[in-house]
């Protein structure tokens, strides 16, 4: 865990995605794209947070398949097992263990106030389980176990990050410094990609309307169709304006795909009409993800390799997690077995 040349410890990056729905271009632009950059310079850990997604009912056979598919998509996107630790949360038992301990330092009132808890409770009225309420504490455990400095996520996770920080500070104040207090890493542009069907709402990976979101492994025809149908407005000029959220969203997506600024794209497509612009946005998405899709298909044929990477990742993560747990247990006064 050291920068061997300068002998300074490298900072730690941690992030994860729940294996629900599909990995969307929103998840890619808001999170994964930054992971790719950060893995070059940090000690990074990227997990499939498969315990988190149990807060809503999953079909076991589908769930297992989807989690593996997400893992392959991480690799296909360019998360490199030689640079980062990639693993399934459920393979490292310390996540659940630390979650329990942190529960005893978290107030019920803090959890019932969480926006995501309120939203998800409304959506799952028949299954408002303890896990749903406890979700942010498990996320805090994920982050704090690895003494994380930076957490690259989309803007919707800001509140969860704040609570992780609060819990760390509270624990540190009670028992002397134990956890690193993490910072969020939220992109300036693209931290919230909007639905293609409702440009005022977030593009969500479990949106029941298939036209609202685009998967990173989607086939080109389907991608093009969705962009053609994307909801915009009844004007004709491609401009950056607050009151044109559909256009701004498409500009943001194309900018992330091509590296061009939204200003230069708006200039380029200004008077060409929406149809031409949407076609160009669609093509930029198809081209960006073509190699990823091909690599994904190849990896899914090689389950042996996927499982080997998962096993290595879990082992490396467990070693770090174990050290933090030992420290935590000592601080709170649990009897040690020598
Ligand atoms: P769901 O809607 O099923 O709750 P989600 O689309 O919010 O899922 P998550 O697994 O909760 O996906 O999020 C994975 C990562 O992607 C997080 O860092 C989150 O902030 C980011 N993210 C999710 N949706 C978007 C979006 N529309 N734009 C930018 N980033 C996003
Ligand atoms: N709650 C996050 C997923 C998540 C996460 C984490 C992100 C779980 N544990 C730790 C960063 C760090 C979400 O995106 N819904």
pLDDT (tens place) for every residue of the chain, 338 residues total: 555 556 667 999 999 999 999 999 999 999 999 999 999 999 999 999 999 999 999 999 999 999 999 999 999 999 999 999 999 999 999 999 999 999 999 999 999 999 999 999 999 899 999 999 999 999 999 999 999 999 999 999 999 999 999 999 999 999 999 999 999 999 999 999 999 999 999 999 989 999 999 999 999 999 999 999 999 999 999 999 999 999 999 999 999 999 999 999 999 999 999 999 999 999 999 999 999 999 999 999 999 999 999 999 999 999 999 999 999 999 999 999 87
Whether 66 maps to a domain, the answer reads yes
Which residue has its alpha carbon closest to ligand 1 atom 3? Answer: 206
Which residue has its alpha carbon closest to ligand 1 atom 19? Answer: 154
Does 303 qualify as catalytic in the annotation? no
Q: Which two tokens stand for residue 164?
A: 């992780």
Question: CA-to-CA distance for 285 and 86, rounded, in angstroms?
Answer: 25
Q: Single out the catalytic residue among 11, 192, 202, 244.
A: 202
Which residues does residue 44 pair with via DSSP β-bridges, in sequence order?
13, 84
Residue 99 and residue 178 in one domain:
yes
Question: Domain containing 323 — which CATH number?
Answer: 3.40.50.620
Instruction: Report the phi/psi class of residue 21: left, alpha or beta, with left for phi > 0 and alpha for psi in -120 to 50.
Output: left
pLDDT of residue 5: 58
Q: Which two tokens stand for residue 270?
A: 């200004």
Question: Domain containing 286 — which CATH number?
Answer: 1.10.240.10
Residue 182 and residue 315 in one domain:
yes
Whether 64 maps to a domain, the answer reads yes
Closest alpha carbon to 46 in 9, 88, 10, 77: 88
Residues with CB under 6 A from ligand 2: 14-16, 18, 49, 52, 139, 142-143, 151, 153, 157, 160
Report the residue among 67, 138, 153, 156 best suited for mutation to probe ligand 1: largest number of ligand atoms under 8 A from its CB: 156
Whether 196 maps to a domain, the answer reads no
Residue 322 and residue 255 in one domain:
no
pLDDT of residue 95: 98
Provide the residue range defining the domain that includes 176.
2-190+303-332
| Ligand 2 atom at shortest distance from the alpha carbon of 154 | 14
> Could you identify the residue written with the tokens 């407005």?
233
pLDDT of residue 195: 98
Q: In what order do the strands lie in the sheet with 12-17?
A: 84-88, 43-48, 12-17, 150-152, 183-185
Whether 95 maps to a domain, the answer reads yes
Which residues have a Cβ under 8 Å from the Cβ of 250 and sit 6 or more positions away?
A: 227, 230, 232, 277, 278, 281
For residue 157, report the distance from its CA to the centre of ligand 1, in Å.
8
Residue 276 and residue 247 in one domain:
yes
Q: Single out the catalytic residue among 120, 288, 329, 331.
A: 120
pLDDT of residue 278: 98
Residue 154 and residue 287 in one domain:
no
pLDDT of residue 338: 79
**66 pocket-lining for ligand 1 (C-beta < 6 Å):** no
Question: CA-to-CA distance for 42 and 11, rounded, in angstroms?
Answer: 5
Which residues does residue 53 pair with via DSSP β-bridges, in sequence order?
none
Question: CA-to-CA distance for 42 and 308, rounded, in angstroms?
Answer: 23
Whether 105 maps to a domain, the answer reads yes
pTM over 0.75: yes
Split into its structural domains, the chain has a count of: 2
Residue 174 and residue 252 in one domain:
no
Residue 161 and residue 239 in one domain:
no
Whether 211 maps to a domain, the answer reads no
For residue 139, report the distance from its CA to the centre of ligand 1, in Å.
14
Whether 123 maps to a domain, the answer reads yes
pLDDT of residue 254: 98
Residue 275 and residue 255 in one domain:
yes
Q: Single out the catalytic residue among 180, 205, 316, 329.
A: 205
Whether 337 maps to a domain, the answer reads no
Residue 181 and residue 311 in one domain:
yes
pLDDT of residue 6: 61
Element of type H or E holding 12: strand 12-17
Residue 134 and residue 155 in one domain:
yes
Q: Which two tokens stand for residue 253?
A: 């997506």
Residues in the chain: 338
**204 pocket-lining for ligand 1 (C-beta < 6 Å):** yes
Question: CA-to-CA distance for 202 and 156, rounded, in angstroms?
Answer: 9
**52 pocket-lining for ligand 1 (C-beta < 6 Å):** no
> Could you identify the residue written with the tokens 């198809």?
286
Residue 20 and residue 109 in one domain:
yes
Does 205 qualify as catalytic in the annotation? yes
Q: Which two tokens stand for residue 296?
A: 């994904």
Sign of the dihedral defined by the CA atoms of residues 117, 13, 89, 327, in that order: negative
Residue 182 and residue 275 in one domain:
no
Question: CA-to-CA distance for 86 and 80, rounded, in angstroms?
Answer: 8
């Amino acid at each position: 865990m050291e920068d061997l040349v300068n002998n300074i410890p490298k900072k730690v990056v941690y992030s994860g995605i729940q294996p629900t729905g599909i990995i969307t271009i929103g998840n890619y632009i808001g999170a994964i794209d930054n992971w790719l950059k950060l893995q070059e310079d940090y000690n990074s850990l990227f997990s499939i947070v498969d315990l988190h997604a149990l807060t809503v009912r999953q079909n076991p056979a589908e769930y297992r398949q989807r989690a593996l598919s997400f893992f392959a998509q991480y690799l296909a996107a360019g998360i490199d097992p030689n640079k980062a630790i990639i693993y399934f949360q459920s393979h490292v038992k310390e996540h659940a263990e630390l979650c329990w301990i942190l529960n005893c330092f978290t107030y019920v009132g803090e959890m019932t106030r969480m926006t995501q808890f309120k939203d998800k409770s409304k959506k799952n009225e028949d299954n408002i389980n303890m896990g749903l309420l406890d979700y942010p504490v498990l996320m805090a455990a994920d982050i704090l176990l690895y003494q994380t400095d930076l957490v690259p996520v989309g803007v919707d996770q800001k509140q969860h990050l704040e609570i992780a920080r609060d819990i760390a500070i509270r624990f540190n104040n009670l028992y002397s410094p134990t956890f690193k207090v993490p910072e969020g890493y939220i992109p300036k542009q693209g931290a919230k990609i909007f639905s293609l069907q409702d440009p005022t709402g977030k593009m969500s990976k479990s949106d029941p309307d298939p036209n609202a979101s685009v998967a990173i492994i989607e086939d080109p025809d389907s991608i093009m169709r969705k962009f053609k149908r994307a909801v915009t407005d009844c004007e004709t000029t491609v401009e950056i304006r607050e009151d044109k959220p559909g256009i701004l969203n498409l500009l943001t997506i194309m900018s992330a795909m091509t590296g061009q600024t939204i200003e230069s794209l708006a200039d380029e497509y200004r008077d060409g009409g929406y149809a031409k612009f949407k076609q160009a946005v669609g093509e930029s998405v198809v081209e960006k993800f073509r190699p990823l899709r091909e690599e994904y298909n190849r990896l899914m044929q090689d389950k042996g390799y996927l499982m080997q990477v998962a096993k290595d990742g879990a082992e490396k993560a467990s070693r770090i997690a174990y050290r933090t747990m030992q420290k935590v247990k000592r601080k709170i006064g649990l009897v040690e077995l020598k």
